[in-house]
Amino acid sequence: MTQHVRNHHTIRVAAPAHAAFKFFTPAGEELWAQHWHPRYLYPADGTTQRGQVFTTGEGDEFTIWQVADFDLAACRVRYVRTTPALRTGFVEVQCVAHGSDASDVLVSYELTALTPAGEATLAAHDGAAFATMIDGWASAIAAHLPQLLAAPFR
């Protein structure tokens, strides 16, 4: 079993980088990611900022998230995520302009298993499985693009 995975994958979205960046905030992700229902602890209104804390999931998948770095100008965010029953690590997203109306979005995960059960979950975050997961994000974003572009940044 693998106890640690580090992977990255790039997708393209049909929006300028600063517009696309809001799709990857916790509140922005609520608009396109099925089963993504963050519970905001700080700040309570869900505004994305450095130090933001929220939780997702239930049972063994209960996850605590904290925004470790947030750079609006660079369109980059880095999250610390800990699923105490399974794994801990980092998720980083950076949006880079690709022309005037599209962006390349680099998604990086670095996770370490905390338990034997956590080791089994790392396969979904490695290799082809990881690329397929992130490609699914691109499809979901494309399906919700008008709604996403109209949404305020949070």
Q: Write down the pLDDT at residue 124.
A: 87
Please say if the pLDDT value at position 153 is more than 70: yes
Which sequence spans correspond to the domains of the chain?
Answer: 4-149
d(CA 42, CA 29): 17
- Report residue 1's pLDDT band, with 50, 70 and 90 as the boundaries: low
CB 124 within 8 A of CB 61: no
How confident is the prediction for the chain on average, in pLDDT? Answer: 96
Question: What's the CATH code, domain 4-149?
Answer: 3.30.530.20
3-state secondary structure of 44: coil
Average pLDDT over residues 133-148: 96
Q: What angle do CA 25, 105, 15 make, to 5 degrees?
A: 80
Structure tokens at 129: 């499985």
pLDDT in tens, 97-109: 999 999 999 999 9
- Report residue 4's pLDDT band, with 50, 70 and 90 as the boundaries: very high
